[in-house]
Amino acid sequence: MKPACGKGSEMQATIVAAEPLAARAGLQILEQGGNAVDAAVTVGFALAVTFPEAGNIGGGGFLVGDVGRARGTDDGQPICLDFREKAPLKADRDLYVRAAEAGIEKASLLGHLAAAVPGSVAGLLDALDRWGSLPRSRVLAPAIGLASRGFPMTASRHRRLSSKGTRGQMTLFEETARIFYPDGEPVAAGEIFKQPDLARTLQRIADNGREGFYGGETADHILVEMKRGGGLIAIEDLESYRAVVREPVQFELNGVEVLTMPAPSSGGICLEQMLRILSRFPLEEFGAGSTDTIHLLAESMRRSFADRNHFLGDPDFVSIPTEKLLSEERIEAMAKSIDLKKSTPSSAITPAGATEKEETTHYSILDRHGNAVAVTTTLNGSFGSKVVVPGTGFLLNNEMDDFTARPGEPNLFGLVQGEANAVEPGKRPLSSMTPTVVIGSGGEVRGVLGTPGGPTIITNVLQVFLGLYRHNLSPEDAVSQPKVHHQSLPDHLYHEEGIAKETLMALKDRGHQLKRRGKIGDFQLISVAPGGAVRGVSDPRGGGTTATKVKIQRN
């Protein structure tokens, strides 16, 4: 196949993100001559202002990309950066068991003990240093402007902040209440929401780099708040936090090459396992959304998640048998163990997880040279731990809940995990975030994929990939098709609405325990057709947008 684009021709610069102001901020950076990484850094900081449920400087994330092309003439190089939060050095494996015994039920989810050491600022600045081209002050300027000048409160955020559950938890913390409920109520839809403290924190980062967050005034504020609220993050944690460059999970399948996230995300390993299991079955013949296809999806998902929950954790702490998990023998055995007509029960049934609203966010970027960046970032739950550090304007994550916080018990996402993901000082909790870039056989970018959704992230990326590269769906249909999800435990086949009744009955007959659930994910896809046409699709399930450059400005 001839490279359709990338080499010698310019591409339609495109950003797809869950929040329009942040997407446009990134596009401006591309229009000013910034590259995909510059734009990713801008979108990341802007989302911390405009999408406080999940956009963050108090959380963490992952970046996968294929960059380094200049003026459409070169091949890209895979890049992969881990800026996942870390457990504080004072944390230990029984932290949340003790908290539960002391009557604090939600310690890994709500309040100061839930917060792991934030990684986003280190990660975004590190990405800029390594692969960006613009100065820090330029890429941070849009976020600072949005925080200080403010922007209109959306109706959906207003609704969310007004909901009983969110309000009840957010207002437990005085500073969070002061910012998000001035005069006791959320800022009305359409009114301007300003965040002056956050603007000053972002300015300190622009002025002083990582020291503007992990040292000086910002660090002082964090430490004071940790002491006041009984949290564990200490100065050593802040000073020692570093993002880590990782080798992406990389494999070829269906005529494309996939670059995706390795541990401490489970996304890459599971995605590869599931895709390779499914490559042994004629899905094209079965058709997208058919009983046979959904059955096979569920069976490959349940098998892969069993491995995930048992073997995977932070590779800096546990040894992951990656070679074994991805060996031909293993994939073959997993595929062979699937009964085409009957579901295999997962070994035990566990109660479903908590019902708290979850939130993460993903953005996909393609610059005009054909460089691609995929970033998924999170505070874990919606608005994280709900703790705003006084004086800084930012929310801390509740990522500690992604660990096996209490052995044998399901976490926020109903995941029952093992020893490999136990809490240890300085360890990163296992993630499911799966930012993914797909490369065509000519070296050109064909897809930039990702979504929020906890464990459904992996299975959602799987289904969009299959939609695009096996079922030949349009990018819009690949994203909007009804999604299913299985995570081994609990032994449920979750599904969105929209699957035909007869299909659901046939799946039930094969032994699947069906569970209808609400919207799965908020996919942000860029798809590049073999002819070079670029399509951005922001999931109709969310409120995001595609920002794309109409006019090409040359440097």
What gap in Å lies between CA 294 and CA 378, rounded to an integer?
A: 29
The kind and range of the H/E element at 366 are strand 358-366
User: Which of 534, 363, 444, 433 lies closest to 15, judged by CA?
Assistant: 363
Exposed / middle / buried, residue 254 (Cβ in 10 Å: 0-12, 13-18, 19+): middle
How large is the greatest C-alpha to C-alpha distance in the chain, in angstroms?
A: 64
* Beta carbon nearer to ligand DON, 14 or 266: 266
* Beta carbon nearer to ligand DON, 82 or 299: 82
The kind and range of the H/E element at 60 are strand 60-67
Active-site pick, 360, 434, 436, 456 = 360
* Beta carbon nearer to ligand DON, 83 or 193: 83
Are 179 and 393 in contact, with CB atoms under 8 Å apart? yes
Angle in degrees, CA 374, 377, 383, rounded to 5: 150
User: Which of 132, 129, 123 lies closest to 44, judged by CA?
Assistant: 123
Angle in degrees, CA 355, 456, 21, rounded to 5: 85
CA dihedral 99, 105, 108, 114 (to 10 degrees): -80
Judged by CB under 6 A, the residue of 176, 360, 480, 527 near ligand DON is 360
* Beta carbon nearer to ligand DON, 204 or 541: 541
Query: Is position 457 an interface residue for ligand DON (rule: CB under 6 A)?
Result: yes
Minimal distance, residue 360 CB to ligand DON, in Å: 3
Contact region for ligand DON (CB under 6 A) — 15-23, 157-165, 175-183, 356-364?
A: 356-364
Minimal distance, residue 385 CB to ligand DON, in Å: 12
Contact region for ligand DON (CB under 6 A) — 158-166, 279-287, 449-457, 481-489?
A: 449-457
* Tokens, residue 153: 């409160």
Contact region for ligand DON (CB under 6 A) — 194-202, 205-213, 388-396, 447-455?
A: 447-455
Q: What are the two backbone dihedrals, phi and then psi, of residue 217, each rounded to the nearest 5 degrees?
A: -60, -40
Size of the site for ligand DON (CB under 6 A): 14
Are 69 and 371 in contact, with CB atoms under 8 Å apart? yes
What gap in Å lies between CA 321 and CA 416, rounded to an integer?
A: 20
* Beta carbon nearer to ligand DON, 271 or 433: 433
Query: Is position 359 an interface residue for ligand DON (rule: CB under 6 A)?
Result: yes
* Tokens, residue 265: 């995300």
Query: Is position 453 an interface residue for ligand DON (rule: CB under 6 A)?
Result: yes
Which residues does 5 contact at the CB level (< 8 Å), separation at least 6? 11, 370, 444, 528, 531, 532
* Beta carbon nearer to ligand DON, 470 or 492: 492
Query: Is position 378 an interface residue for ligand DON (rule: CB under 6 A)?
Result: yes
- Residues 301, 305, 520, 39, CA torsion sign: negative
Query: Is position 47 an interface residue for ligand DON (rule: CB under 6 A)?
Result: no
Minimal distance, residue 136 CB to ligand DON, in Å: 27
Query: Is position 38 an interface residue for ligand DON (rule: CB under 6 A)?
Result: no
Alpha helices in 132-243 (DSSP H): 136-149, 155-162, 164-170, 174-180, 196-208, 211-214, 216-229, 235-240
360 as an active site residue: the answer is yes
Query: Is position 454 an interface residue for ligand DON (rule: CB under 6 A)?
Result: yes
Contact region for ligand DON (CB under 6 A) — 41-49, 87-95, 233-241, 452-460?
A: 452-460
Minimal distance, residue 113 CB to ligand DON, in Å: 16
Judged by CB under 6 A, the residue of 218, 291, 377, 380 near ligand DON is 380
Q: How many helices (H) does the chain have, and how many strands (E)?
A: 20, 18
Contact region for ligand DON (CB under 6 A) — 155-163, 276-284, 450-458, 463-471?
A: 450-458
Minimal distance, residue 123 CB to ligand DON, in Å: 14
What gap in Å lies between CA 260 and CA 241, rounded to an integer?
A: 23
Contact region for ligand DON (CB under 6 A) — 189-197, 420-428, 448-456, 491-499?
A: 448-456
Minimal distance, residue 454 CB to ligand DON, in Å: 4
What gap in Å lies between CA 263 and CA 489, rounded to an integer?
A: 21
Query: Is position 459 an interface residue for ligand DON (rule: CB under 6 A)?
Result: no
* Beta carbon nearer to ligand DON, 299 or 359: 359
Query: Considering only residues 403-432, where is the footprint of ligand DON by CB under 6 A?
Result: 431-432
Minimal distance, residue 519 CB to ligand DON, in Å: 10
Minimal distance, residue 468 CB to ligand DON, in Å: 21
Query: Is position 452 an interface residue for ligand DON (rule: CB under 6 A)?
Result: yes
Minimal distance, residue 121 CB to ligand DON, in Å: 18
Q: What are the residues binding ligand DON (CB under 6 A)?
A: 358-360, 378, 380, 399, 402, 431-433, 452-454, 457
Residues labelled as active-site residues: 360
